[in-house]
Structure 1
Amino acid sequence: MRIVFAGTPETALPSLEALVASRHDVVAVVTRPDAPAGRGRTLTPSPVALAAEKHGIEVLKPAKPSDPDFMARLRELAPDCVPIVAYGALIRREALDIPQYGWVNLHFSVLPSWRGAAPVQRAIMAGDEVTGATVFSLVEELDAGPVLGTITELIREDDTTAELLERLAHWGSKLLVDVIDHIEDGDIAAVPQPEDNISYAPKLTTQEARIDWNRPAFAVDRHIRGCTPAPGAWTTLAGERVKIGPATIADERTLEPGHIEAGKREVRVGTATTDLVLGEVQAVGKKRMAAADWARGTSFGAEPAFDGTSA
């Protein structure tokens, strides 16, 4: 089967590599245009673009998928199917109709739960015990197309978004290739999504990533893990933003919400229930470091507490 693959971030790389290694012919890759990266804000190709170039695969970088030149090239390539993983732009009907078997999307949730841009983050933050990945036929409505295949994955108690997404990208790539194999063999049927239990996962904003220390420890823990690595959970101390990495829930409560106890070996922060023992902390303009090292270089008041919490 002739394949044009659409994807952009590192999350999409396992699927691209799996398709390249499969029986199918990846004739081109569609990815987002080069974007500024690093301190110098140098225009840099996407991870998918770099991987495709290493394989000698043609790379298409339309500003929009509706771009006439891109549409013309897609018709010339005449793909049988376009698998898509975290591409990052909406695909309109005109493009969806070009491949014989349509566009098939690998999405990192068990649909119809968590339709949208941040399914893994939202699943962790909501306290879900199980998530997964779904391959479905792409339609113009957000993540609403009929399902071609699903896998499930347990969410571990210490999973961050990065760790869970890495597993889902790995297993999801195998699911994607299996689905495309069956599409070519003609022995698979798409099943409409249920119309109940639909939930949405909009992209996390920086403001949403702010920690509310007045919540229970388990909720703060989920919040931090769901925001790791991006956009990064944060709080403020004396008006300065501080990023907080995954923490450990303590067995007892010794502090009021947001209050800090900095010892030689650990730093504790109070919540509505038990304390949290901080892992890594990153102050503005500094590298991530162990919480105890951060505390040693930080000036605290008489009753140290993060901003916005009770005295």
Structure 2
Amino acid sequence: MRAYIIILSLGVLLANSLSVKGQTNEFNCMVQISSPGLSEADRTILQTLQSSIYEFMNGRQWSTYSFKPEERIEASLLITVSSKSGSDDYTATIQVQARRPVFQTSYSTTLLNINDKDFKFNYVEHQPLDYVDNTFSSNLTSVLAYYAYIILGMDFDTFSPMGGTPFYEKAQAIVNTAQSASESGWKSFEGQKNRYWLVENLFNTTYRSLREGYYVYHRKGFDSMIENMEMGRSEVTRALELFQKAHRERPGSYLLQQIITAKSDEIINLYSEAPQMDKTKVINIMNELDPSNAAKYRKISQPSSGTGSSVNPK
């Protein structure tokens, strides 16, 4: 049976002005719910859920900041419902993606691309999606709020060193309130790659250089390429060296894995036009950080087409 797709554009605005006047919402987000194998009645319920998620994400003010339209984060939530048990319990996955525009260009760089497979929720048609900070109301709204704050934190980290900390604190509070929840994905003992460990890595001082590198990668690197491509690329190299530093101090960071997932293709494209010395350095770094994809990074050393990198923001 073909998947039944529900697609909804959210007018959620995000950017990074420090003004709190003319306050707007924070994301420009696409929501897609896929429910292959579910009945027509269940798909109707999910259509209602779609509208509720729209209101939850688009109607809520997640911060005190207001942002310019060109600074919005492009985000998407792809929810795939695999089964329904009982009358109102759903098993699903949620893929969360977010992008952020590069300064004075039409190019956007990926901030996050995470596929969360620990997503079960209860939903009764027409029930409000309630969420209050520091209170675990439901797994559905807690997961949505958690990723809203993670995206905000990652965006703010790209504009100022450790700038996302207040939003990560919000996400950490959600993890803390979810410790008594029956749903998985919130607890340390459930595995090394879940919502608990993502926020733990963000606060772990061992991995501080990951966040430092994340700032350098975006603000010092990509945002400066409009004026000086080579200087911007050298800053991206410095960011990769900061990622390497964290990896050497303690391998296996879930946060680093997510950064690599979001950035690997972009890195390959960026360095395909770099001098050979830079290519060699970056290939060695990426092979260390992401050894299972070593063959992928060999593309960097292939002869240049001479047409310019697809990530050149000029």
Give the TM-score taking structure 2 as reference length. Answer: 0.29
More strand by share: 1
User: Higher helix proportion, which one?
Assistant: 2
Scaled by the length of structure 1, the TM-score of the pair is 0.29
Structure showing greater Rg: 1
